[in-house]
């Protein structure tokens, strides 16, 4: 195998593995930039993966063919927003500890999705295997470029969507007045309130966008990688997405870089067996690598995290 093809494929696999993490990390950013900690990304992704699997299944049973996965995507979005409302209600309206209510989301997600899967599929712990999922789409002309043609322009529609959303998120957060308000609410809610921004409303919106994006991330796992939903479809991606968000300093571009890094280290697992020198490394160490590297990078370079300063705090107008 020549190295040009290998490199292109490696880049391609990297992006495939990164997609769900990008969505999850972007979701985390919108919630946390508004000042609401969201440890429930994992659960929101689970809800999304579940909704996508079930509704795609029913859409294809109803004969919708290639449109079915898009139905799945839309229902994942709705499911994610609904689930995130639980988090918003508890942590914004009832002033529950935000970490706690995020954990609640994770518990409710694993419990209720499997409960419903067993109800719908007559006791099976897994949804039926989907026939209509996303296929890779080569972009004409661009996909002929060496390396990045294969790597970047021959991918799933959801991957394109994720990359576009990174830039959209960046633009929305840093170049629009909505983004300014959202960040203001997360940095200094009382100042924002004085300036006429409705703090609670902005935080609700932040959490709901977060739910939609995270659920989209979960949906991409079922609709591109597993084609089914089971208890282990989402196993830790949400937490890695949170790590990518912190790693990327709550900035969409940074989070994209971090997610790509995690995706790369996952993709590289299948390539180390190709070369003689790398075969001798125990697989466990290859698996460990991204996590150890993350710690090293954080300790060496990034240092103190740049979290929004009102993150995790309730807004109480009577408090100075």
Partner 1 sequence: MNKIVKIFSGSIIVPLTAIVMGLLVGALIMLLGGYDPLLAYQSLFSQVFGNLYDLGETFREITPLVLTGLAVAFAFRAGLFNIGGEGQFIIGMTAATFVGIKITGLPMIIHAPLALIVGGICGGLWAAIAGYFKAKRGVNEVITTIMLNWTALYLANYIVRHFLLLKGQQRSENLQDSASISIQWLSELLGNARMHWGTLIAVLAAVFFYILLWKTKQGFELRAVGLNPHAAEYAGMNVGRNIIKSMFISGMFAGLAGAVQILGVFHYQSVMSGTPGIGFDGIAVALIGMNHPFGVLLGGFLFGSLTYGSAGMSFGAGVPPELIRIVIGSIIFFIATPGIVRYVLKPLYAKRKKEKVL
Please, are residues 179 and 173 in contact by the beta-carbon 8 Å criterion?
yes
To partner 1, the closest distance from the beta carbon of 217 in angstroms equals 17
Cα–Cα dist 137/134, whole Å: 9
Q: 210 exposed, middle or buried (CB, 10 Å; 0-12, 13-18, 19+)?
A: buried
Query: Got the DSSP string for 184-226?
Result: HHHH-HHHHHHTT--HHHHHHHHHHHHHHHHHHHHHHIIIIII
Q: Is 16 left (phi over 0), alpha (psi -120 to 50) or beta?
A: alpha
Cα–Cα dist 232/227, whole Å: 13
3 state SS of 138 = strand
Q: Which of 85, 108, 90, 106 is nearest to 209 (CA)?
A: 85
To partner 1, the closest distance from the beta carbon of 243 in angstroms equals 5
Cα–Cα dist 288/261, whole Å: 14
To partner 1, the closest distance from the beta carbon of 177 in angstroms equals 30
How wide is the angle at C-alpha 38 spanned by C-alphas 256 and 53, nearest 5°?
A: 75
Q: Count of CB atoms within 10 A of residue 178's CB?
A: 12
To partner 1, the closest distance from the beta carbon of 5 in angstroms equals 29
To partner 1, the closest distance from the beta carbon of 109 in angstroms equals 8
Please, are residues 99 and 37 in contact by the beta-carbon 8 Å criterion?
yes
Q: Which is nearer to partner 1, 242 or 310 (CB)?
A: 242
To partner 1, the closest distance from the beta carbon of 303 in angstroms equals 6
Please, are residues 268 and 286 in contact by the beta-carbon 8 Å criterion?
yes
Q: Is 170 left (phi over 0), alpha (psi -120 to 50) or beta?
A: alpha
Q: Rounded to a whole number, what is the distance in angstroms from the first to the last CA of the chain? A: 65
Two structure tokens written together for 169: 């998120």
Q: Which is nearer to partner 1, 276 or 284 (CB)?
A: 284
Q: Which is nearer to partner 1, 133 or 310 (CB)?
A: 310
To partner 1, the closest distance from the beta carbon of 194 in angstroms equals 25
Cα–Cα dist 22/45, whole Å: 12
To partner 1, the closest distance from the beta carbon of 272 in angstroms equals 14
Q: Which residues bind partner 1 (CB under 8 A)?
A: 39, 86, 90, 94-97, 99-101, 103-108, 110-112, 114-115, 118-119, 123, 232, 235-236, 239-240, 242-243, 246-247, 282, 284-285, 287-288, 291-292, 294-295, 298-299, 302-305, 307
To partner 1, the closest distance from the beta carbon of 169 in angstroms equals 20
């Amino acid at each position: 195998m020549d190295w040009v093809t290998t490199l292109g494929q490696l880049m391609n696999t990297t992006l495939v593995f990164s997609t769900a993490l990008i969505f999850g990390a972007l979701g985390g950013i919108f919630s946390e930039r508004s000042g609401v900690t969201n440890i429930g990304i994992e659960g929101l992704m689970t809800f999304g993966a579940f909704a996508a699997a079930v509704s795609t299944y029913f859409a294809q049973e109803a004969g919708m063919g290639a449109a079915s996965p898009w139905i799945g995507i839309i229902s994942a979005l709705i499911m994610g927003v609904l689930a995130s409302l639980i988090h918003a209600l508890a942590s914004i309206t009832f002033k529950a500890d935000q970490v706690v209510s995020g954990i609640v989301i994770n518990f409710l997600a694993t419990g209720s999705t499997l409960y419903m899967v067993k109800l719908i599929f007559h006791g099976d712990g897994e949804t039926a295997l989907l026939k209509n999922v996303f296929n890779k789409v080569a972009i004409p002309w661009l996909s002929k470029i060496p390396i990045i043609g294969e790597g970047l322009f021959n991918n799933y529609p959801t991957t394109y969507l994720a990359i576009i959303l990174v830039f959209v998120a960046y633009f929305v957060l840093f170049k629009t007045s909505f983004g300014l308000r959202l960040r203001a609410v997360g940095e200094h809610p009382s100042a924002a309130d004085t300036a006429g921004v409705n703090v609670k409303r902005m935080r609700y919106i932040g959490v709901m966008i977060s739910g939609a994006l995270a659920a989209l991330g979960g949906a991409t796992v079922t609709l591109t990688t597993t084609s089914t939903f089971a208890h282990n479809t989402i196993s830790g991606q949400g937490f890695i997405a949170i790590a990518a968000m912190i790693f990327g300093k709550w900035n969409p571009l940074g989070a994209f870089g971090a997610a790509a890094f995690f995706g790369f280290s996952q993709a590289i697992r299948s390539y180390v067996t190709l070369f003689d020198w790398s075969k001798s490394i125990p697989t466990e160490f290859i698996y460990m690598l991204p996590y150890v590297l993350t710690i090293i990078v954080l300790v060496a370079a990034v240092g103190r995290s740049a979290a929004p300063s009102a993150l995790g705090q309730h807004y109480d107008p009577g408090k100075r």
